[in-house]
Structure 1
Amino acid sequence: MSRSKTLDLSDRVERMGALEDRFGITLEAMYAVFKEDEYANEVRVNFDVVSPNGGIDTDLQIFVSAYNSSGQLIATTYTYVDGDDFIGLESCSERLDCDEPPTKIRVYPKSN
């Protein structure tokens, strides 16, 4: 019999509003879940990158970082948002390998 567990972690997501403001975007529709089964343990974070003015001035990397209860970084990844192709909305889904559910997940932009 296979064991499978899913845990909603959306309340553990921390956004960095000052960085979002700096790049003229907001990160919305955050959904984070920890999935554990016989094959892997992972965190999946889904979100939208939204710009009220319809564009961004530079290419961005959106980082997704997971931390344990000691505040240590246990996994990180990022996705690219191409400034030339950005139309004001981009949906993203990022996956991190984690042995256990993180206690905090930070999602923040950085210029590329």
Structure 2
Amino acid sequence: MHRVPLLMAAVFMTFACSPDKGFGESREVEAEDYGSDWPLTVESAILSCSPEGDLFVQINGRAFGLNTATVEDADPGFRRVWAANPGNGGERMDLVPLIEDARELCE
């Protein structure tokens, strides 16, 4: 009798830990795919497009919106992984390559 609740809890935990977090279409991308245009300080991320057309980048299990990706509007957690632009002191790397690839998932 006690096994059923444990089994159900395990199933729910599996869904809660799934990489796409229910955001619709998703695709893993890696730094090597983008070369010097890679705008993050982590080696990989998951791009997603929600059924409503919202764009997300998921890093270490946490999703961040790409639709309003300005430094001022960015989540503090995202700013920690958004790479500084080495050729333009103080500015961040351009997110357009990630945004374009995430947008393709909406089509």
Q: TM-score band (shorter)? A: 0.3 to 0.5
Task: Specify which structure has the higher proportion of helix.
Answer: 2
Higher RCO structure, 1 or 2 (CA under 8 Å, sep 6+): 1
Question: Which structure has the larger Rg?
Answer: 2
Higher strand share: 1
**TM-score between both structures, scaled by the size of structure 1:** 0.31
Give the alignment's TM-score, normalised by structure 2: 0.32
